[in-house]
Structure 1
Amino acid sequence: MRDPHLPLTETVAYTLLALVEPGHGYAVMARVESMSDGAVRLAPGTMYGALENLEKQKLIARMASADARRKVYQITELGYQTLTRDAERMAHLVSLFELTRTQAPQKEER
């Protein structure tokens, strides 16, 4: 049966990775930007919408926080399983690509 969560978008994959350790929205934004070497930058509205959506899908869960003003999240077991399956899917794709490297079309000489 096909997993309705897959394939993960780049933003979702980085967000789930960022939440292997608990974090609040701004911490997640900083982690995602750092992990992606600046390629993925999330605006606050985008981040909080994504967190709400991931929580509804049970891929992340809200944790208890010492600061009532900050919502802290962490990846759930389902979220980690989903992230693992997507990483395996991408690894398979990369392995297939690697097999074709010697067969890639050569640049034509003029």
Structure 2
Amino acid sequence: MSYTSGPMTEAMFYVLLALVNPNHGYQLMNAISLVSNGRIQMGPGTLYGVLARLQKDGLITIVEDDGRRKIYEMNDVGRAALREEYQRLLSMVQDGISLRGEMDNENVK
């Protein structure tokens, strides 16, 4: 099985990035803030919606559920999807470098 749903949303990317280590919801919100250098502050509504989608898409699994909290873990499909998305984002940045000179010229004027 592989991920074929197209480009990830920013929220999906950061949730997977934070799931490099298994976590539960509250820990995930903190891990997302840390990994994004505070740029992303994800609330519970967004987080649990993304977790449901990632689970439905087969990218994460629940490894523990004590009835009070669930611990989520990225599986092999999720790791492959995260690496693929990372490569896609790197390619986009590379493509955008061609604008650097043009943008620098605009800032001088």
TM-score interval for Structure 1 and Structure 2 normalised by the shorter chain: 0.7 to 0.9
What secondary structure is seen at the aligned counterpart in 2 of 1:74? Answer: strand
Residue 46 (structure 1) aligns with: 46
What secondary structure is seen at the aligned counterpart in 2 of 1:23? Answer: coil
Query: Matched residues in 1 for 2:45 and 2:91: separation?
Result: 34
Q: Unaligned stretches of 5+ in structure 1?
A: none
When normalised by structure 1's length, the TM-score is 0.82
Residue 73 (structure 1) aligns with: 72
**In terms of mean alpha carbon deviation, does 68-77 or 19-28 score higher?**
68-77
Residue 18 (structure 2) aligns with: 18
CA RMSD of aligned residues (A): 1.9
What secondary structure is seen at the aligned counterpart in 1 of 2:88? Answer: helix
Q: Unaligned stretches of 5+ in structure 2?
A: none
- After superposition, the C-alpha distances for 1:42-95 in whole angstroms (9 at most, x for unaligned) are 211221222122111111100035x54220001111111111111111111212
Query: Matched residues in 2 for 1:5 and 1:31: separation?
Result: 25
Larger Rg: 1
Task: Compare the two structures and name the one with the higher helix fraction.
Answer: 2
Query: Matched residues in 1 for 2:39 and 2:15: separation?
Result: 13
Asked whether the 8 Å contact 1:5–1:82 carries over to 2, the reply is no
Are 2:107 and 1:83 aligned?
no
What secondary structure is seen at the aligned counterpart in 1 of 2:61? Answer: strand
Superposed, which structure 2 residues align to 1:49-60 within 5 Å? 49-60=49-60
Matched pairs, number = 105
